[in-house]
Structure 1
Amino acid sequence: MRLTIRDLSKTYPNGVRALRGVDLTIHTGMFGLLGPNGAGKSSLMRTIATLQEPDSGTIQFGPIDVLRHKTALREVLGYLPQEFGLYPNLSAEHILDHFAVLKGVVDVRERRAQIDVLLEQTNLTNARKKAVGGFSGGMKQRLGIAIALLGRPRLIIVDEPTAGLDPTERHRFLNLLSDIGQDVVVILSTHIVEDVAELCPNFAILAGGEILYTGAPEAGIAGLRGKLWRRVVSKAELSELGARLHVISTRLITGRPVVHVHHPESPGPEFEPIVPDLEDVYFYQITNAARRAA
């Protein structure tokens, strides 16, 4: 299956242009959508999930024209939004049974079989009878993905799924996504670069409602090889360096600012070359777009 998005645009009544001519082609497997908060990621996910209408553009999932045949898409969709509510007094088992019925799994035996498999897959079997009001954040996220997987969807969308999780729960959740994303299309929308680096063979960077980059992480990294330089600087130097060079990021190491600079050759003897990673690709694309817009 393949998800094809062409020239998708959305402006809200308050004048915010959330999406600006988005083009994407997403194949079976894990696909990462990276972008800062407010980039338009959730707007794109909600539009794909048929929860809002775009102003223009098309979305095709396999044979399904998503904007014309929303019910057909919903029948093969699993969606875990950034925020979702659960009845705190109900058990995980009860909630899954309720959502299974809503998803059209009406046969009792089939419903029970799916719930058992999903509780095991999400490591919630021992908590199946417990009220979800007492669940940790990670347990709630795992229950959310179990709900999304009911009905055996072919397209799965997860929006900022690891935000707020501790490292143990984050890795458990990422491993779960990796297992899921073998035979279906899974879109992982996040601002956490490490999540995409660990899971996704292809990704896109979205900022200001526009796609800045799409491709394999290795290709993005290769494009920066030999063009990135680092230097420890004083805080007083940051403004001057930013005006003179393309500083893609600044971070503190033992309390001292360290800048990463994009330049075709060494900007000076005090700079040292660095091996780029996916975070550098992300910051380069974001800052490059800002420089073009200035």
Structure 2
Amino acid sequence: MQLEIRHLSKTYPNGVRALDDVSLSIPPGMFGLLGPNGAGKSSLMRTIATLQQPDTGTITLGDLDVLKSADAVRRLLGYLPQEFGLYPNLSAEMVLDHFATLKGLTESKARRRVVDALLEQVNLADARKKAVGGFSGGMKQRLGIAIALAGDPRLIIVDEPTAGLDPSERYRFLNLLAEIGQERIVILSTHIVDDVRELCPRMAIINRGRVVLAGEPTQVLAGVAGRIWRREMSRDELEATRATHEVISVRLVAGRPVVHVFADACPDPRWVPVDPDLEDVYFHTLAGGTIDGASGSPSADAPALQSV
């Protein structure tokens, strides 16, 4: 079963064009959708999840027309939005039991087995009797993925799942996603490059509603190999460098800027070559650059971003 998105566009009543001719093919496994805040990721996720209709375009999940068969799609869907509500005074097992019932698990013994198994899978079995209002952010996210898994979905969408989590909770949650993404389609929508680098064999970058790059991480990294250069410099030199070079990122190391630029050849002897990482690809693409061997049409007015 594959998810096919073709020529999807959506403009909201306020005039914001959230999706602009988006086309993607997403096979089973983990798929990373990268983009800055406001890029259109959540609009795309809501459309795939049948929560809103596009202006134009088609989406198919296997043989199902997603836009015309919303009820059938929802039976195959698990969705963890960026923000979701829980009943704070109820225990984890009561919340999960409630959502499992909504997913169609009406036989009590079978539902109990599913609830028990899911709580074990997301490492919340010991907290099953605790009120979810006292859960940490990571525990709430893990309960959210358990809710999304109820009903054994074939397509799972998670929207910015690790934003705000501390490092230990983030790694626990990413390991959980890797575990469930073996045979299902799992779309990870995020602005955190590390999440995609660590989990996803396929990815796309979206900016201002357009897919500006799609491919495999190894493929897109090969497309910039030998063209990323690094130099440490003073703050006074930074502005001049921005005026004469394609600066794709700036980090502070011990208070001094460390600059990465994109160039076909070494700008001058002060620059040293570095092996590119996915963050270099991300910033280069958002700045309007292209990647050899990767699909996507960069937006001419895409903003340059820096990480500090």
TM-score normalised by L of structure 2: 0.93
Q: Counterparts of 1:144-183 in structure 2 under 5 Å?
A: 144-183=144-183
1:9 CA drift (Å): 0.5
1:252 CA drift (Å): 0.7
SS class of match (2:300): helix
Q: Which residue of 2 aligns with 1:223?
A: 223
SS class of match (2:288): helix
RMSD of aligned Cα (Å): 1.1
Cα pair 2:60 2:66 within 8 Å, conserved: yes
1:240 CA drift (Å): 2.1
1:233 CA drift (Å): 1.9
1:258 CA drift (Å): 1.2
Amino acid corresponding to residue 232 of structure 2 in structure 1: V
- Residues 234, 291 of structure 1: alpha-carbon distance in 2 compared, 3 angstrom cutoff: farther
1:138 CA drift (Å): 0.5
Amino acid corresponding to residue 18 of structure 2 in structure 1: A
Are 2:305 and 1:293 aligned? no
Q: Deviations over 1:45-68 (max 9, x none)?
A: 000000111111000000110001
1:288 CA drift (Å): 2.0
Q: Distance in 2 between matches of 1:40 and 1:250?
A: 25
Amino acid corresponding to residue 68 of structure 2 in structure 1: R
Cα pair 2:10 2:56 within 8 Å, conserved: yes
- Residues 46, 291 of structure 1: alpha-carbon distance in 2 compared, 3 angstrom cutoff: closer
Q: Deviations over 1:102-142 (max 9, x none)?
A: 11111112111110110000000011111101111110000
SS class of match (2:206): strand
Q: Which residue of 2 aligns with 1:125?
A: 125
Cα pair 2:9 2:19 within 8 Å, conserved: yes
Q: Counterparts of 1:210-249 in structure 2 under 5 Å?
A: 210-249=210-249
Q: Distance in 1 between matches of 2:63 and 2:240?
A: 54
- For these two proteins, the number of residue pairs brought into alignment is 294
Amino acid corresponding to residue 135 of structure 1 in structure 2: F
1:99 CA drift (Å): 0.6
Q: Which runs of 5+ in 1 are unaligned?
A: none
Q: Deviations over 1:207-261 (max 9, x none)?
A: 1111011111001111111101011122222222222211111111111111111
- Residues 64, 180 of structure 1: alpha-carbon distance in 2 compared, 3 angstrom cutoff: same
Amino acid corresponding to residue 4 of structure 1 in structure 2: E
Q: Distance in 2 between matches of 1:233 and 1:12?
A: 44
Amino acid corresponding to residue 274 of structure 1 in structure 2: V
Amino acid corresponding to residue 52 of structure 1 in structure 2: Q
Cα pair 2:212 2:299 within 8 Å, conserved: no
1:291 CA drift (Å): 8.3
Q: Which residue of 1 aligns with 2:276?
A: 276
Q: Distance in 1 between matches of 2:299 and 2:19?
A: 20
SS class of match (1:15): coil
Amino acid corresponding to residue 94 of structure 1 in structure 2: M
Larger displacement relative to structure 2 (280-289 or 45-54) = 280-289
Q: Distance in 2 between matches of 1:291 and 1:89?
A: 47
Q: Distance in 2 between matches of 1:270 and 1:8?
A: 46
SS class of match (1:116): helix
SS class of match (1:292): coil
Q: Which residue of 2 aligns with 1:197?
A: 197
Amino acid corresponding to residue 124 of structure 1 in structure 2: L
- Residues 254, 230 of structure 1: alpha-carbon distance in 2 compared, 3 angstrom cutoff: same
Greater helix content? 1
Amino acid corresponding to residue 190 of structure 1 in structure 2: T
TM-score normalised by L of structure 1: 0.98
% identity of equivalent residues:
65
Amino acid corresponding to residue 17 of structure 2 in structure 1: R
1:153 CA drift (Å): 0.2
Q: Which residue of 1 aligns with 2:294?
A: none
SS class of match (2:221): helix
Q: Distance in 2 between matches of 1:7 and 1:99?
A: 34
Q: Counterparts of 1:14-53 in structure 2 under 5 Å?
A: 14-53=14-53
Q: Which residue of 2 aligns with 1:69?
A: 69
Q: Which residue of 2 aligns with 1:260?
A: 260
Q: Distance in 1 between matches of 2:87 and 2:185?
A: 29
SS class of match (1:226): coil
Q: Which residue of 2 aligns with 1:99?
A: 99
Q: Which runs of 5+ in 2 are unaligned?
A: 290-297, 303-308
SS class of match (1:52): coil
